[in-house]
């Protein structure tokens, strides 16, 4: 597949937005400005960027506890995301969700989810709703390799298969579920084999390669849009950092981490873009500049925003009927 220059620029920008957002959030977290936990998407930027790059604006996604990348790639704003991480009133969720639960329904982000596999049922249900409404929307459902062992995964994927629902299951195979190696958790060399249990197509791609992810996702999304049902796209992308910030990864061989870092998907991609003369160094720099400005502005916004009024804790449970 040959992609035009703009697509490449979009990919690069998307990946960089994620990387820089995460790096900045980690700094703020270390400085004590962000409560709770941070599961960074560093190293997996190509996955969300490639998949969301293949979606149409009306399409929907669900994210995970490691969900900042999903949100950004789908087009959410950095400032309101950062504010949400801070627990500020100006955050997407008014401070009620935090890092693991950011959502923006107006942007098609049905929510990140702190329960492993927690978004799979609802993503599949959204696809069902779309099918019933006869629209052509597709849902991309992100989850980790660890989530493939939850019963919720199994039940939802089976239902999507028998009802030919327009959903694409994107497995972010970073090789780990916290400290437990996926090699020990699943007795398969190629995780996409699991798709066979449901009679749906499954494919494995290099999750560090945004173009490979895009291509596989595009095929799966088009298939879904044609009404031919769900597919599974396994994106292999060795985890570059700890499970969450603060994880010393004592359980993991050092050279495994080093190898992952050496293959850094953004570094690789930018070198490729320049080497292939798709984008010049200056063009990349200009993109970087935009991203830096956005990040700086996001931190400023989050820093300066107020906390919600404590009494708001009791709001937003039920819709009050008029």
Partner 1 sequence: MREITYAQAINEALREEMKRDQRVITLGEDIGGIGGNFGVTKGLQEEFGSQRVRDTPISEDAIVGLSLGAALVGMRPVAEIMFSTFLGCCMEEIVNQVTAIRYMSGGQCTIPMVIRTANSLGRSGAAQHSGRAEALIMHIPGIKVVIPATPYDAKGLLKTAIRDPNPVIFFEHAMAYYGVKGEVPEEEYTIPFGVADVKRQGKDLTIVAYSLMVRKALEAAEILAKDGINVEVIDPRTLVPLDMDTIIKSVKKTHRVIVASEECETAGVCAEISYRIVEAAFDELDAPIQRVATADVPVPFSPPLEKYMMAKTEDIVKAAKKLMA
Ligand X SMILES: Cc1ncc(C[n+]2csc(CCOP(=O)(O)OP(=O)(O)O)c2C)c(N)n1
Structure tokens at 37: 């936990």
Query: If you write DSSP's letter for every residue of 262-309 in order, what string do you get?
Result: HT-HHHHHHHHHHHTTSS-HHHHHHHHHHHHHHHHHHHHHHHHSPPPP
Structure tokens at 299: 């931190």
Residue 166 lies near partner 1 (rule: CB under 8 A): no
Distance of alpha carbon 202 from alpha carbon 169, whole angstroms = 9
- The option from partner 1, Mg ion, ligand X, none interacting with 307 (CB < 5 to 8 A, set by class) reads partner 1
Site residues (CB under 6 A) for ligand X, limited to 257-286? none
The count of chain residues that interact with ligand X, using the rule CB under 6 A, is: 17
Which DSSP state fits 180? E
Residue 67 lies near partner 1 (rule: CB under 8 A): no
Polymer length of the chain = 322
Residue 150 lies near partner 1 (rule: CB under 8 A): yes
For ligand X, the binding residue among 49, 90, 103, 174 (CB under 6 A) is: 174
Site residues (CB under 6 A) for ligand X, limited to 133-162? 143-147
CB 54 within 8 A of CB 218: yes
Identity of the residue, 106 or 184, whose beta carbon is nearer to its own copies in the bound complex:
184
Residue 181 lies near its own copies (rule: CB under 8 A): no
| Residue 42: C-alpha distances to residues 39, 142, 237 (Å) | 9, 15, 10
Q: How far is the CB of 199 from partner 1 (least distance, A)?
A: 13
Q: How far is the CB of 151 from its own copies (least distance, A)?
A: 2
Q: Nearest 5 degrees, angle CA 241-CA 14-CA 285?
A: 95
Q: How far is the CB of 185 from ligand X (least distance, A)?
A: 9
Distance of alpha carbon 158 from alpha carbon 147, whole angstroms = 15
The count of chain residues that interact with its own copies, using the rule CB under 8 A, is: 22
Q: How far is the CB of 185 from its own copies (least distance, A)?
A: 6
Residue 84 lies near Mg ion (rule: CB under 5 A): no
Residue 120 lies near partner 1 (rule: CB under 8 A): yes
Contact positions toward its own copies, by CB under 8 A?
149-155, 158, 161-162, 184-188, 193-194, 196-200
């Amino acid at each position: 597949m040959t992609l035009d220059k703009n697509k490449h620029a979009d990919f690069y920008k998307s990946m960089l937005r994620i990387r820089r957002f995460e790096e900045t959030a980690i700094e703020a977290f270390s400085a004590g400005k962000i409560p709770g936990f941070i599961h960074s998407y560093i190293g997996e930027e190509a996955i969300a960027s490639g998949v969301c790059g293949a979606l149409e604006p009306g399409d929907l996604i669900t994210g995970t506890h490691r969900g900042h990348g999903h949100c950004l790639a789908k087009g959410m704003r950095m400032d309101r995301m950062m504010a949400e991480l801070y627990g500020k009133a100006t955050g997407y969720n008014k401070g009620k969700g935090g890092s693991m639960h950011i959502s923006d329904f107006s942007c098609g982000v049905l929510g990140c989810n702190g329960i492993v596999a927690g978004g799979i049922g609802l993503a599949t249900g959204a696809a069902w709703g779309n099918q019933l409404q006869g629209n052509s929307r597709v849902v991309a459902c992100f989850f980790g390799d660890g989530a493939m062992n939850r019963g919720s995964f199994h039940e939802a994927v089976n239902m999507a298969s028998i009802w030919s629902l327009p959903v694409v299951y994107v497995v972010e195979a970073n090789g780990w579920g916290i400290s437990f190696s996926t090699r020990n958790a699943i007795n398969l060399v190629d995780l996409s084999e699991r798709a066979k249990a449901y009679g749906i197509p499954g494919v494995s791609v290099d999750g560090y390669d945004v173009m490979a992810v895009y291509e596989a996702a595009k095929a799966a999304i088009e298939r879904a849009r044609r009404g031919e049902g769900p597919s599974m796209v396994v994106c292999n992308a060795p985890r570059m950092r700890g499970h969450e910030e603060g994880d010393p990864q004592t359980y993991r061989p050092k050279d495994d981490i080093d190898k992952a870092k050496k293959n850094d998907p953004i570094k690789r991609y930018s070198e490729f873009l320049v080497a292939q003369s798709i984008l010049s160094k200056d063009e990349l720099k200009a993109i970087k500049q935009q991203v830096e400005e956005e990040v700086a502005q996001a931190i400023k916004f989050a820093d300066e925003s107020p906390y919600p009024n404590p009494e708001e804790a009791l709001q937003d449970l039920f819709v009050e009927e008029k």
